[in-house]
A and B are shown apart, each in its own frame.
Chain A
C-alpha cells in the first residue's frame, strides 16, 4: 500500500467541551483528490480546522499523521511548513498587510529560505493573471473590501504560490458565479499533480469537473458514514444524504 499523505485515526475533537468529531478516520494518499460530502452541521469545517490545528478546537482522542509523522500536537504554522494548506470558507480581512507582502512572508516561512523579490514578483504576476486577479490587488490589504469571489481567488493564488503538499479546500466554490467557479477550479487543477493532493469540501460538483476524484467520504454527525468512488457524488446528488443513513440502518 502506498504511503498515506494524511492519515486520521479515531479523531475526537470539539470546541468548548462540545464534541463535534466523534471518532473520525480518513486517509488521503499522495497525489489523490478526495471529496467530503455531508449535510450542514455534520462537522466538515471543523475537520478542516482541526487538521490545520486551529487553537480553538481541542483534540480529545485519536491522531492526525502527515507523511507518516504524528502532527496532532503541532502548531498551525508548523503544520503549514510541513506542507498543509487551508483555503478558507470565509477568508479573514486583515488591514495594513498587502497581499504581496503576506504571500512573500509566508513563502519565506514555508520554504525556509529568502525569497528573491524579482522572480517572486514575476511569478505572482503570472499567477494573478491566470486567476484573473487585477495586478493592483497585489498592493491591496489582505481581503479588505474584496468581493466573495475575489477572496476565494486570492486563496487559490496563495495555494499556487505556496505550493503545499495537501490543499484543504473548504467550500472554495461556495458563493461564486459560474465564471468564478471555472477560474477557481482551473486553479485547483493546476495545483494538483502526482505529488500534490486535495481534500475538498463542496456542495457543488462543478469545481470537480477539471479533476479526477479518487475517493468520496460522507461525513455525518462527526463520523464518516460512507465511502466510495466518484460515483457516490451523483448518487448523493440524486438521492440526498438521508438514504445513506437508512441503508446503514444506524443513527
Chain B
C-alpha cells in the first residue's frame, strides 16, 4: 500500500546556532585536578568554606562511579571539558553595559524584550558567569532577593550556607559531586513569607564556548505563604565537540508556599545534559514543575519532589521531543513522606527520525505517608518506525491507604484517526499535524507564552511528498 510520508520539522535551530567568537577573559585548563578547582575558587573569590566544599566534592567525584543505568554517556571525557569559562564582562543591571556580542545573543533570544513586557526580573548567564541581573524595584521593597549565586554568597552568606547543596548533596551521584566541585553562576531567589511575586522571574543560561561545561546553581527559597513563578531557559550553539551541562537546582517550598518552576531546555545536539533538580515541600506547600526538553544529545533529567509536610503537593507537567541522534531520558521522581501528600505527573514524549525518548519515573510513598495520592500519566508517540520510546515507571508504596493510579501509553498515529479527519476534507499532513498538536496540547497550554510559540513551530508538519 502506498503511504505518504510526512515530515515533522525539527525545532528551528538557526537562532540558537549563532555562535559568538570566544572572547572569554579566562578559561580554566580542561580536566579536573585540585589545582584547577583551587584556581576557579580563587578567581571566583569564594569564601574559604566554599573552597573546602569544592575540594571535598572533587574528592567525592573521584570516588563515585558512573550511573549503571540510563543512556550511554561513555563519550563524555571529563579530561577534555573546560569547566570554567569566565566571560569578558562584569555583572551589571543595565543591558547597555553588557558587551555587544553577548547582548546581541540575548536580544535574539528575546530576553530583554520579555523583560520589558512579562517578567518581574531577569538573570542572564553567559558561559560560566552571570552577565546581567535585574529585578523590579517594588519586589526589592518587599524583600525579594533575586541575584546571581556569587553575589548571594557575598551578601547573604548565612542563607546560602544554610541551604546550598543540602538538598542535593555532592555524594548523591557523580554529576552532583562534579557540580559541587566546579559550580559557577546560576540564580538565587529568596521570597519572604507571605509575599506573592506577581510576574515571573526568568534566568537564561547560554553556553557559547566549545568543549566547555556549564554548572550553574539555582537556589530558591519560598518562605511560608509566599508564591513565585520561576522560568529557566537554556540554549547553546552547536559544536563538533562534546559540551556538558551539569546544573543543579534546589528548591525550598515552605509551609503553604507555592512555586512554579518552568524550564525550556533547548541545548544543541552536542550537549550532554546531566542535570539535577530537587524540591523540598513543607506542609500545604505546592511545587509545580513544567518541563520542556527539546535539545541536547543526551539528557538525564528527573526533577524530584520531596513532599515532606502534610498535604504537600506536586504537579509535574513535562514534554520531551527526541529527534535524530538524541537520547532523551526524562521523567520525574516524587517521594511522599507525610500524610495526605499528593502528586500528579503528566508527561508526553515524542520521538522521530531515529530519536529515542524514555520516560522514567519513581514514585515512593513512605510508611509515614498514609492517604497519599499519586497519579502518573505518561504517553509516548513515535512518529516513524526508526524511532524509539520506552516508559519505565517505578512505584514503591509503603504507606497505608495510598491511592495510586498509573496510565502509560505508547503508540503511533492511528490510521483510523487519520481516516476520520481526512474524511472531513482535512488533508493527510494537516491531519497528522493536528493529531501531534493534540497529543501535546495538555502540556503546551502549561508552557510560558513565549515558549508556546516554539512548541507550535515544533509540530509544524510538512509534506515530503515521497511515496514508498
Contacts and interface: CB of A to CB of B under 8 A. Distances in A.
Interface stretch (B97-105, B247-255, B422-430): B422-430
Contact of A76 (B414, B417, B419): B419
A60 B421 CA distance: 25
B426 A86 contact: no
A81 B424 CA distance: 8
A158 B419 CA distance: 15
A55 B415 contact: yes
B422 A97 contact: no
A95 interface: yes
A61 interface: no
A105 B420 contact: no
B138 interface: no
B296 to A, nearest CB: 26
Contacts of B414: 92
B440 A96 contact: yes
A88 interface: yes
A141 B431 CA distance: 15
Contacts of A52: 419, 423
B17 interface: no
A50 to B, nearest CB: 12
A160 interface: no
B422 A76 contact: yes
Nearest to A76: B422
Contacts of A94: 417, 420-421, 434-435, 438
B426 A106 contact: yes
A80 B422 contact: yes
Contacts of A85: 423-424
B421 A96 contact: no
A75 B415 contact: no
A65 interface: no
B430 A105 contact: yes
Contact of B435 (A97, A105, A109, A158): A97
A58 B2 CA distance: 11
B9 to A, nearest CB: 19
Most buried by A among B425, B435, B438: B425
A135 interface: no
B419 A162 contact: no
Contacts of B3: 55
A248 B252 CA distance: 83
A76 B419 CA distance: 7
Contacts of B419: 52, 54-56, 76, 92
Contacts of A80: 422-425
Given A55-B419, A105-B434, A96 B439 contact: yes
A146 interface: no
A110 B425 contact: yes
A96 B417 contact: no
A56 B339 CA distance: 53
Contacts of B441: 95-97
B442 interface: yes
Interface in A74-109: 75-77, 80-81, 85-86, 88, 91-92, 94-97, 102-103, 105-106, 109
B25 interface: no
A109 B3 CA distance: 21
Contacts of B407: none
Contacts of B423: 52, 76-77, 80, 85-86, 88
A180 B4 CA distance: 39
Most buried by B among A58, A103, A105: A105
B72 interface: no
A106 B434 contact: no
A54 B418 CA distance: 10
Most buried by B among A75, A81, A102: A102
A80 to B, nearest CB: 4
Interface in A45-73: 52, 54-56, 58
B416 interface: yes
A158 B423 CA distance: 11
11 contacts: A52-B423, A77-B422, A92-B420, A94-B417, A94-B434, A97-B437, A105-B434, A109-B425, A109-B427, A110-B424, A110-B425
Cβ-closest 5 pairs across A and B: A96-B438, A106-B424, A80-B425, A110-B425, A96-B441
Given A55-B415, A76-B423, A96-B438, 16 more contacts: A52-B423, A75-B422, A75-B428, A77-B422, A80-B422, A80-B424, A88-B420, A95-B441, A96-B442, A103-B424, A105-B426, A106-B421, A106-B425, A109-B427, A109-B430, A158-B424
